[in-house]
Structure 1
Amino acid sequence: MRPSSAGESSNTDSDDPVAQPDPTARFTDALEKVTPLFELQPPLEATVLAEALQLAAVSSLGLGRLTDAESYWRRAIEANARFVDAYLNLATLLKGLNRLSDVEALFRRLLEVSPDLADVHNQLGSLLQDQGRLSEAEAAYRQAALICPDRLEFHYNLGTVLRPLGHWHEAGEAYQRAIALRPDFVMGYSNLGNILKELGRLPEAEAAYRQALAIRGDYHMAKYALAILLLSMGRFEEGWRLYEARHADPKSMQHKTQKVIGRPRWQGETLAGKKLLVWQEGGLGDAIHFARYFQLLKAQGAAQVAFACAPALHRLFAAVEGVDVVLAHEAGWAASANYDYWMSPLSAPLYLSTTTDTMPLPVRLTLDPSLLEAWRVRLATLPPGRRIGLVWKGNALHQNDANRSLGSFGMLAPLWRVPGLSFVSLQKGEGEDEALSPPANQPLLHLGSDVTDLADSAAIIAQLDLVICVDTAIAHLAASVGTQCWVMLPGEAIDWRWMHERTDSPWYPDTIRLFRQPLGAQWPTVIEQVRQACAEAFPG
């Protein structure tokens, strides 16, 4: 016999389970009591009727009768056009059903009759922002902030749409108003730092990030942003140290990798006689960039250095000095117990004490002669003259791809006006379809569709005179095979390794030339600069 609990009936003569109350009974009971009220003659006063319909809607929702709930809330609104709770409850229901156009219509209808509802303007702004309708979201957030200027979230939300709209100064002002309302608003300082960085006000950006961390030392977004800022300024000692803190962020891939691998993370311990598993972090370009550190790691006396990486890198890294074994990620997981340490290649600069004066030279990739010959035959179909490789789009999944990639292949048309040049498409994946059928006035040898990995791409690039590309892995690949590469950089969220204002790169001192899009400018400005540079570099 089990003891009875409060609210239960006990039967000491039976082992039958004690009956539990029906959780829907109260909703059924409420509906039974309220629905007769809708048929009363004379009818209920409008506000009372609306309240009754609201109760019926809530009860129907509790019973899982979504269509009935919607109908009751709509009837409540018809009874009382200013019944805010009915609008908001119905909006929540419709959001759950992903009927966003109906939610928008509901908010707009409510604001017609009650235009001073700041929270509804704010909710409308959020709805529009989620759909990418940023200008409309801006208007909604502005109205919310106008009605209630003492609500920091309205100013903060306004800042979040002003930035992607390119209204940098106004976004900064919105974040500053939010901070003024709450001086310990960590997210406000962090986002203000992001704005100031893009505006080139680097000391102020640094101060904003440091203020965020003074308030909350474990705010990883600000710590990461400060690290990136310092690295972009060449302040490596503190920058690398802060950058390493990404491993402590439970949301970071590095934190998750640690759990999967289950081995100690290398943090500068002696490697003499040890086996080290290096785990790819970031994209393909990051892997090539930091490949320069494998030789230095092996020189520490490691018995074996293995690199677990994406398949597109396998053939390329099989010939990289300092790499003993190249593994697929699955094989790396399976073999992880055999290694003394694991590390990300992006951690190497910290533990190998990289400064602006001690940057290792880029890895020099060794290419298979038979692979070079196979692609030489393809390139031989071009007319005599200079051969220029082109890449105009990066991986669409990259967080800054909307800014770093060109809108279309056709935007490069001005380059065709430079005489004596032949163009080779290295485009793979996103944008590849454009290269398969270029405009008639844009002759192009498209090889990107035929490459199987970056070893193929490297073999092609090694036989070109120049590569012109957006900020993708191809830039690192070209520089690492010794081919000149001109990189077109976006106006915002530029990768830290390209630093600020420079037209060269200390990471690739003899091969990379940078063409920077000014903040607020458009790609044609940069492309025209590249065209002029081509005309100067390859006269006649």
Structure 2
Amino acid sequence: MHPSSDSGASNTAHNGPVTPPDQSARFTDALEKVRPLLEMQPPLADSMLAEALQIAAVSSLGLGLLDDAESYWRRAIAANPGFVDAYMNLGTLLNGLNRLRDKEVLFRQLLAVRPDLADVHNQLGSMLQDQGRLAEAEASYRQASLVEPDRAEFHYNLGVVLRPLGRWHDAAQAYQRAVELSPGMVMGYSNLGNVLKELGHLREAEAAYRQALALRADYHVAKFGLAILLISMGRFQEGWRLYEERHANPRSMQHKTQKVINRPPWRGEALAGKKLLVWQEGGLGDAIQFGRYFSWLKAQGAAEIAFACAPALHRLFAAVEGVDVVLAHEAGWAGSANYDYWTSLLSAPLYSGTTMETIPPPVRLKLDPSLIEAWRVRLAELPAGRRIGLVWKGNVLHQNDANRSLRSLATLAPLWRISGISFVSLQKGEGEDEGNAPPVGQPLLHLGSDAVDMADSAAIVAQLDLVICVDTSIAHLAASLGTPCWVMLPAEEIDWRWMHERTDSPWYPDTIRLFRQPLDGTWPTVVEQVRQACAEAFVA
């Protein structure tokens, strides 16, 4: 596998190892005995001198004399350029000192002499990978697999770096070879499933995930991968059941939430007369998309339903049917003992028995008329004609933001050529600076910075003719308000809720239209499709 940092001298980076007295005496004695050999005239033969220098280096390291140890190992290498142990020991020392560039130079020096050392190629690949130098890491991993083609971990590591390079087919081949060589490699099957899913080979991806789970039933990464794959294929019954097991993963936020709340999780028990604490899971968009289940939960007879969520959602959900109380997360923690159960909205599809045919309608959002009026005044600054809202970037902390967000507002420039349309920036956070100062020739009314929360954003969106956005919370907000929304989806790691190949969404059948970037495509291609659709929809 992708090797972790070397051990050994790694904890000597600052002051050297702490050597027990008896060990210290042994190292001192060894050093005193070997030093005369290093000064012999005539000198020892190169191979013997290198061995003596190796003893001196190890003894110096044991005494915490790191500079001396390095010097001895370098002299050993000079005496015997093929002395592999000296290179490896010095490499361990350099790693512990965080001198990674020196270690890289050392390993390349060794490989120039001994190109047959597959493990060294692999370690060099790991170093380069950790530094984000993926193309160079690929070359090293490939060389390792050429030297020893039957080592499964080399093919696995190759797959790991090929995926972020966008080499999906090559990554699939690398993972496939890895599991052929090592049929028990759980991570290999799981990662193979991830890549096959991106390639659109959904049945093969499912088989890979299931093989990983057959080998290790509690491998949460594969279980989660299979869950979202099945949900994205519309196979809700098994998909939501597997998705619920995210709570069992000790690394998951859901597992940590359970620890904090310290109340029984709701698993479909009768709610008549019970008090239920609903905890926001995921981002703002998740809360809005699954807010449709509040009315269903209330219909189960719950005496009180409290929603603990981000401040940006408080005003929006205060008037949502089924929500009795809206709380800050801190208040939710503090008052959790007052509730019989806690749950996440993303658990509701499982316990409500939701199928593709029975997805509830979007949450009904009731907006304050005074808020609508306040934003109507701002929108009145625009000339007569159609109004289209824009969001080109999502939350930079999102795991797939590098793919889902546009690089800049300028990517949308083709839209400005459509006559009779005014554009409104709803951008929050990343990208606000562009909204405030759009390039010359890109007229834009930027309102995002003035929107305090999602209630403000909703009051704006409700007065627009269309929203064009990347995959972010505004898509769910617009669609729930009944405002048509066109979502531009990335080529890689498309969120499961948008399913596969569809241009519509069963979650928002009347409002969402999807524009998908091909796996090897670019954003300008998608933007041009959106421009053409706009021209057809709004230009007489």
**Per-residue CA distance 1:187-231 (angstroms, 9 max, x = gap):** 111111112111111111111111111121111111111111110
Kindly report which structure 2 residues correspond to 1:178-193, keeping only aligned pairs within 5 A, or say none: 178-193=178-193
Shift of 1:520: 1.0
Moved over 6 A (4+): none
Supply the distance in 2 between the matched residues of 1:440 and 1:506 (Cα, whole angstroms): 39
Supply the distance in 2 between the matched residues of 1:416 and 1:455 (Cα, whole angstroms): 28
**Residue 364 of structure 1 aligns with which residue?**
364
Supply the distance in 2 between the matched residues of 1:109 and 1:272 (Cα, whole angstroms): 73
Report SS of the residue matched to 2:515.
Answer: strand
Kindly report which structure 2 residues correspond to 1:301-340, keeping only aligned pairs within 5 A, or say none: 301-340=301-340
CA distance 1:468–1:80, change in 2 (3 Å): same
Equivalent residue letter for 2:278: V
Contact 1:277/1:307, CA 8 A, preserved across alignment: yes
Supply the distance in 1 between the matched residues of 2:69 and 2:476 (Cα, whole angstroms): 58
- Give the TM-score of the pair, scaled to structure 2: 0.93
**Per-residue CA distance 1:428-470 (angstroms, 9 max, x = gap):** 1122222232210212112222222222211211111111111
**Residue 430 of structure 2 aligns with which residue?**
430
Shift of 1:153: 0.3
**Residue 3 of structure 1 aligns with which residue?**
none
Task: Tell whether 2:478 aligns with 1:489.
Answer: no
Report SS of the residue matched to 1:488.
Answer: strand
Supply the distance in 1 between the matched residues of 2:94 and 2:507 (Cα, whole angstroms): 53
Mean Cα displacement is larger for which, 238-247 or 309-318? 309-318
Kindly report which structure 2 residues correspond to 1:134-213, keeping only aligned pairs within 5 A, or say none: 134-213=134-213
Equivalent residue letter for 1:168: W
Report SS of the residue matched to 2:277.
Answer: strand
Kindly report which structure 2 residues correspond to 1:300-449, keeping only aligned pairs within 5 A, or say none: 300-449=300-449
Supply the distance in 1 between the matched residues of 2:52 and 2:451 (Cα, whole angstroms): 68
CA distance 1:29–1:291, change in 2 (3 Å): farther
Identity, % of aligned positions: 80
Task: Tell whether 2:217 aligns with 1:234.
Answer: no
**Residue 514 of structure 2 aligns with which residue?**
514
**Residue 539 of structure 2 aligns with which residue?**
539
**Residue 526 of structure 2 aligns with which residue?**
526
**Residue 247 of structure 1 aligns with which residue?**
247
Task: Tell whether 2:256 aligns with 1:256.
Answer: yes
Shift of 1:21: 4.5
For structure 2, which runs of at least 5 residues remain unmatched after alignment? 1-19
**Residue 272 of structure 1 aligns with which residue?**
272
**Residue 292 of structure 2 aligns with which residue?**
292
Supply the distance in 1 between the matched residues of 2:180 and 2:346 (Cα, whole angstroms): 37
Shift of 1:22: 5.7
**Per-residue CA distance 1:246-272 (angstroms, 9 max, x = gap):** 111111111111112111110000111
Contact 1:279/1:343, CA 8 A, preserved across alignment: yes
Equivalent residue letter for 1:190: S
Supply the distance in 2 between the matched residues of 1:511 and 1:469 (Cα, whole angstroms): 13
Supply the distance in 2 between the matched residues of 1:424 and 1:106 (Cα, whole angstroms): 56
Shift of 1:275: 1.0
Supply the distance in 2 between the matched residues of 1:219 and 1:253 (Cα, whole angstroms): 17
For structure 1, which runs of at least 5 residues remain unmatched after alignment? 1-19
CA distance 1:433–1:101, change in 2 (3 Å): farther
Shift of 1:361: 0.7
Supply the distance in 2 between the matched residues of 1:396 and 1:123 (Cα, whole angstroms): 32
**Per-residue CA distance 1:402-428 (angstroms, 9 max, x = gap):** 211112111111111111111111111
Supply the distance in 2 between the matched residues of 1:75 and 1:315 (Cα, whole angstroms): 71
Equivalent residue letter for 1:146: L
**Per-residue CA distance 1:60-104 (angstroms, 9 max, x = gap):** 333444333333332332222222222222223333333332222
Contact 1:31/1:59, CA 8 A, preserved across alignment: yes
CA distance 1:65–1:272, change in 2 (3 Å): farther
CA distance 1:38–1:361, change in 2 (3 Å): same
**Residue 499 of structure 1 aligns with which residue?**
499
Supply the distance in 1 between the matched residues of 2:369 and 2:26 (Cα, whole angstroms): 80
Contact 1:87/1:106, CA 8 A, preserved across alignment: yes
CA distance 1:379–1:173, change in 2 (3 Å): same
Equivalent residue letter for 1:534: C
Supply the distance in 1 between the matched residues of 2:483 and 2:388 (Cα, whole angstroms): 10
Report SS of the residue matched to 1:384.
Answer: coil
Task: Tell whether 2:62 aligns with 1:100.
Answer: no
CA distance 1:326–1:68, change in 2 (3 Å): farther
Supply the distance in 2 between the matched residues of 1:341 and 1:395 (Cα, whole angstroms): 31
Equivalent residue letter for 1:466: L
Equivalent residue letter for 1:116: D
Supply the distance in 1 between the matched residues of 2:59 and 2:280 (Cα, whole angstroms): 53
Contact 1:415/1:531, CA 8 A, preserved across alignment: yes
Contact 1:364/1:482, CA 8 A, preserved across alignment: no
Equivalent residue letter for 2:206: E
Supply the distance in 2 between the matched residues of 1:173 and 1:523 (Cα, whole angstroms): 27
Supply the distance in 2 between the matched residues of 1:59 and 1:139 (Cα, whole angstroms): 36
CA distance 1:325–1:53, change in 2 (3 Å): farther
**Per-residue CA distance 1:317-376 (angstroms, 9 max, x = gap):** 222211111122222111111111111111111011111111111112112222222222
Shift of 1:46: 2.4
Equivalent residue letter for 1:115: P
**Residue 4 of structure 1 aligns with which residue?**
none
Contact 1:403/1:490, CA 8 A, preserved across alignment: yes
**Residue 461 of structure 1 aligns with which residue?**
461
**Residue 46 of structure 2 aligns with which residue?**
46
**Residue 452 of structure 1 aligns with which residue?**
452
Supply the distance in 2 between the matched residues of 1:352 and 1:49 (Cα, whole angstroms): 77
Report SS of the residue matched to 1:527.
Answer: helix
**Residue 10 of structure 1 aligns with which residue?**
none
Supply the distance in 2 between the matched residues of 1:425 and 1:73 (Cα, whole angstroms): 62
Report SS of the residue matched to 1:326.
Answer: strand
Supply the distance in 2 between the matched residues of 1:141 and 1:339 (Cα, whole angstroms): 54
Equivalent residue letter for 1:503: T
Report SS of the residue matched to 2:488.
Answer: strand
Shift of 1:23: 5.5
CA distance 1:338–1:162, change in 2 (3 Å): same
CA distance 1:338–1:120, change in 2 (3 Å): same
Supply the distance in 2 between the matched residues of 1:22 and 1:436 (Cα, whole angstroms): 70
Supply the distance in 2 between the matched residues of 1:21 and 1:73 (Cα, whole angstroms): 24
CA distance 1:75–1:440, change in 2 (3 Å): same
CA distance 1:75–1:231, change in 2 (3 Å): same
Kindly report which structure 2 residues correspond to 1:12-161, keeping only aligned pairs within 5 A, or say none: 21=21, 24-161=24-161
Supply the distance in 2 between the matched residues of 1:194 and 1:373 (Cα, whole angstroms): 47
Supply the distance in 1 between the matched residues of 2:383 and 2:36 (Cα, whole angstroms): 88
CA distance 1:389–1:29, change in 2 (3 Å): farther
Supply the distance in 2 between the matched residues of 1:23 and 1:279 (Cα, whole angstroms): 56
Mean Cα displacement is larger for which, 454-463 or 55-64? 55-64
**Residue 5 of structure 1 aligns with which residue?**
none
Task: Tell whether 2:443 aligns with 1:476.
Answer: no
Report SS of the residue matched to 2:192.
Answer: helix
**Residue 15 of structure 2 aligns with which residue?**
none
- Give the TM-score of the pair, scaled to structure 1: 0.93
